[in-house]
Structure 1
């Protein structure tokens, strides 16, 4: 019998093989000042609280994550403490983050901005994959961010090296 988590990973693998409808593939851009690691896709499974690094359709690393304080559903506006759902790009990084290191997710995209405008709200911004707060040595448990995807400092150090700017990230419910 296949567990729910295994079934979800099989489904993601199948979608990666046949393509995700409505999601354009992103070109990996390499910049000499950023790592050019071995991952070509990041997948986040919010319900499983896991982040996966893929290369050529195969999982090469897996990390536990924490999400926004209100993890169910997708981010709709600034201050809703939700982590977005959708296909984005990891487009820049901050080596001097207050959260050890951080890698920016390209939220909001034009569709997110349009949706927020229809609601008459700001979509929010600065959604990141990041480590633990440098200003506080308390261990963080459960979901605690304001919409970001948090990992351990050890994990963000590994992700930092393995994931170049321009890598697509797919965030699932």
Structure 2
């Protein structure tokens, strides 16, 4: 039985999203975030130093391309800021991303559509009983494990820039 347990644990670890890391030193604050959608990573920096990296992050159900309209289930691309937080979110903690910006609003308006909004970095749904959802599932947000968003929550002040790359 024990010979089966170790390979099974290794298999489970390989299949689950690896999106939490050891916490940065106490008191460390990020001054910018980078999300690379194609690599599925979110990196927090202090100065030019990477302080934490989350891999296996999840996006909207349509992860390719920039968010253009409400309901398109895409995650925005470009430069934004973290402009708020919600400790009582329907998901385990959430950090608001400043989407839409002026260009996003103008693009949607020119086409008679709404650009949408309420884009966050957040954890898993509060009622979710299992491990992190292992597929793209949000309506355009960036999802981490609950442990990952708790770490990020503690090191990310409001107002810092976030760059989201394709």
- TM-score, length-scaled by structure 1: 0.77
**1:158 counterpart residue number:** 151
Deviation, 1:119, is 1.6
**1:104 counterpart residue number:** 96
Q: Highest Rg: 1 or 2? A: 2
Q: C-alpha root-mean-square deviation of aligned residues, in Å?
A: 1.1
Gaps of 5+ in 2: 1-26
**2:45 counterpart residue number:** 54
Structure 2 counterparts to residues 49-88 of structure 1, below 5 A = 49-64=40-55, 65-88=57-80
**1:143 counterpart residue number:** 136
Secondary structure in 1 matching 2:38:
helix
Query: Residues of 2 paired with 1:71 and 1:144: CA distance?
Result: 9
- Superposed CA deviations along residues 54-100 of structure 1, whole A, max 9, x for unmatched, are 11122110012100100000000000000000000000000011111
Gaps of 5+ in 1: 1-35
Number of paired residues?
A: 138
Which residue of 116, 119, 132 corresponds with 2:111? 119
**1:168 counterpart residue number:** 161
Matched, 1:39 2:39: no
Deviates more, 1:131-140 or 1:144-153: 131-140
- Superposed CA deviations along residues 115-134 of structure 1, whole A, max 9, x for unmatched, are 10112110000000000001
Deviation, 1:38, is 1.2
**1:30 counterpart residue number:** none
